[in-house]
Structure 1
Amino acid sequence: MAKKTTTLDKSITHFLSPKHWLTWCFMGIAYLLSYLPWSLQQGLGKYLGRLLHLIAKRRRHICDVNLKICYPEMTDIARKALTKAHFESMGKGTIETFSSWFQDQKKFQSRTTFEGQEVVDNVLAKGRGCILISGHFSSLDICGSQMPRFMDVHPIYKLQTNPVMNWVMERQRQAIFSKTIERTNMREVLKSLKQNKAVWYAVDQDYGRKNSVFAPFYGRQCATIAHIGRIANMTNAPVVLYDYSRTKNGYHLSLTEVENYPSQDDIENATRINELMQAVIEPKKEQYFWTHRRFKTQVIPDTPSPYDK
């Protein structure tokens, strides 16, 4: 597997060799698709999702396993319908990502509603910055690109293995956000909080045993990142739940301060995080990233993954 490294110190000339031409061709198509009208993008994304549902067998299997774990009472018919709706939502999210990369974000202001300006004012008035926490939903990129209108957000991001994708992604996010932070750079996280900025973590992925504690998520113990509570305890920065979604005519963003958090117990804090994630997933199940291997790390080491066939 290729090493994940930042491309911020490299010019485009580093990525013009023939081995990158296919990716650049894909980027060209993505660029053109970003100019389509919003309604056409949504329709095209829906059919792209249906295509992915047919050909992405591994991702379809992961989605099915996750839904069986989280909704054991769900019938086969209902689960298959939700899986199909999920892929349609992810197809829409793919096209939206292209728009977030290649279009002026002012283009989407009229389609975006926001709830929580008083939360922004209250938490930043404390002078300790704040920690935004969210889940992974299919509208992540397009909704995230609207957040700087309401507060100065420094998102935590994960490097990609494809260097051309990294080159585009890192520059796009630099153009939108005043600062982005690679997920292992804790020094920059603390610096941003000290400067009274918002640091944004998506907290619902399995980062392995080393960086996690086990806490229930939909009734099943799963690896949950522990350092949200630790950072909050260290800095006294308030924690804010960031919820976002695709609506019939656009997007909705909302912020809610998480009260009585954190405690001094990592598992208790992780449990609270997972409860918050469940609460924001339920109204829009199909938009959640069910194709992530949320339960890949087992409580007992060497126990087979539920995604193994």
Structure 2
Amino acid sequence: MAKQSTLDKSIKEFISPKHWLSWLGMGAAFLISFLPWSALQAVGKIFGRLLYSLSPRRRHICNVNFKICFPEMTKAEREQLTKEHFESMGQGTLETFASWFQDKNRFASRIVFEGQEVIDQVLAKGRGCILISGHFSSLDICGSQVPRILDVHPIYKLQKNPVVNWVMERQRKAIFSKTIERRNMREVLKSLKKNKAVWYAVDQDYGRRDSVFAPFYGRECATIAHIGRIAKMTNAPVVLYDYGRTENGYHLTFTEVPNFPTPDDIENATTINRLMEESINPKKPQYFWAHRRFKTQKEKGTPSPY
């Protein structure tokens, strides 16, 4: 089924028997979202271990990524990091349910913001700002807290399951004043013109057409080029949004990226990948290693490492 926005669709379009299993899953997600934070973390780890045992393909992708990015790691170290990664993703899945179905202020006391003055300074320029981040397991729950200090318009990708889209799009619309489907450049420019922030996760492989090749942990990989291009077009400041799970909650940090963009797309992409590495290294298990980051090869015809 093609991925389509559900914002203009009624729930009546998704109540046929073929969707019942998806709705059962959403009902379970709703109930899980009521767990207290400590239980959410503990059950999330257990769920992650289950995913680890049931996902040989994802384990393989992690292993390949670790071989590329951390060639000094032993096999045992790669296996241990893979297990920790799945536990973290299990926690992140349950945190996503909490961000969708619970009041965003429920975990406010567990959030530490750093860089409010950065946000104030860049928005004082009146050109909006472009937030860039990576994909970490706490993406949804941390993202739900950003509107407390910044009117941010996240760029999102539709999911394959229309029921999940129906729930996700409505829950995110309740959190953010505006969300933007990733192909809708017109809305991105509108938001920046209104001095709003747009938020891109910049660390995934979207194919050759929309990318340039730049090093990521020493390996050339397809990196989106339009962050630098949008910044040049609009003169909007670019801000690194780094976030992650701590022992007692979450830490969100905002840092303006200096001397960005340059006239060179590859140089800009290299800067972005370096910033992603700096965000990943202190919290490796939380990064989305199960993504095929190196699937598009620089030389056409070169086999995928996966």
TM-score calculated relative to the size of structure 2: 1.00
1: CA distance between counterparts of 2:78 and 2:58? 15
SS in 2 for 1:133: strand
Q: Which stretches in structure 1 are left out of the alignment for 5+ residues?
A: none
2: CA distance between counterparts of 1:226 and 1:106? 35
2: CA distance between counterparts of 1:160 and 1:103? 21
1: CA distance between counterparts of 2:154 and 2:40? 26
Q: Which stretches in structure 2 are left out of the alignment for 5+ residues?
A: none
Partner amino acid, structure 1, of 2:66: L
Partner amino acid, structure 2, of 1:66: N
In the alignment, structure 1 residue 103 sits paired with structure 2 residue 99:
no
SS in 2 for 1:254: strand
State the partner residue of 1:175. 174
State the partner residue of 2:249. 250
SS in 1 for 2:300: coil
2: CA distance between counterparts of 1:294 and 1:193? 29
Structure 2 counterparts to residues 134-173 of structure 1, below 5 A: 134-173=133-172
Structure 2 counterparts to residues 28-47 of structure 1, below 5 A: 28-47=27-46
In the alignment, structure 1 residue 133 sits paired with structure 2 residue 132:
yes
Structure 2 counterparts to residues 198-209 of structure 1, below 5 A: 198-209=197-208
1:158 to partner: Cα distance: 0.2
State the partner residue of 1:270. 269
State the partner residue of 1:7. 6
2: CA distance between counterparts of 1:25 and 1:60? 27
Q: Deviations over 1:32-86 (max 9, x none)?
A: 0000111011000001111111110111110110011000011111111111100
State the partner residue of 1:89. 88
1:208 to partner: Cα distance: 0.1
SS in 1 for 2:159: coil
Partner amino acid, structure 2, of 1:292: H
State the partner residue of 2:191. 192
1: CA distance between counterparts of 2:182 and 2:213? 20
In the alignment, structure 1 residue 295 sits paired with structure 2 residue 300:
no
Partner amino acid, structure 2, of 1:284: K
State the partner residue of 2:50. 51
State the partner residue of 2:283. 284
1:303 to partner: Cα distance: 1.3
1: CA distance between counterparts of 2:85 and 2:8? 37
2: CA distance between counterparts of 1:173 and 1:301? 38
SS in 1 for 2:284: helix
2: CA distance between counterparts of 1:132 and 1:246? 19
In the alignment, structure 1 residue 25 sits paired with structure 2 residue 58:
no
SS in 2 for 1:280: helix
SS in 1 for 2:72: coil
SS in 2 for 1:39: helix
1:304 to partner: Cα distance: 1.0
Give RMSD over aligned pairs. 0.5
2: CA distance between counterparts of 1:112 and 1:13? 37
2: CA distance between counterparts of 1:83 and 1:55? 13
1: CA distance between counterparts of 2:53 and 2:2? 30
Give the 4+ runs in structure 1 shifted more than 6 A: none
1: CA distance between counterparts of 2:107 and 2:282? 23
2: CA distance between counterparts of 1:254 and 1:58? 33
1:301 to partner: Cα distance: 1.0
Partner amino acid, structure 2, of 1:28: G
Q: Deviations over 1:4-30 (max 9, x none)?
A: 000000111110000000000000000
Partner amino acid, structure 2, of 1:230: R
1: CA distance between counterparts of 2:159 and 2:50? 24
Q: Deviations over 1:147-177 (max 9, x none)?
A: 0001000000001111000000000110000
Q: Deviations over 1:185-208 (max 9, x none)?
A: 000000000000000000000000
State the partner residue of 2:78. 79
1: CA distance between counterparts of 2:168 and 2:279? 26
TM-score calculated relative to the size of structure 1: 0.99
State the partner residue of 2:213. 214
| More divergent stretch after superposition (52-61 vs 199-208) | 52-61
2: CA distance between counterparts of 1:83 and 1:161? 25
State the partner residue of 1:259. 258
SS in 2 for 1:209: coil
1: CA distance between counterparts of 2:63 and 2:49? 15
In the alignment, structure 1 residue 224 sits paired with structure 2 residue 223:
yes
Partner amino acid, structure 1, of 2:151: D
Partner amino acid, structure 2, of 1:54: S
Q: Deviations over 1:122-144 (max 9, x none)?
A: 00000000000000000000000
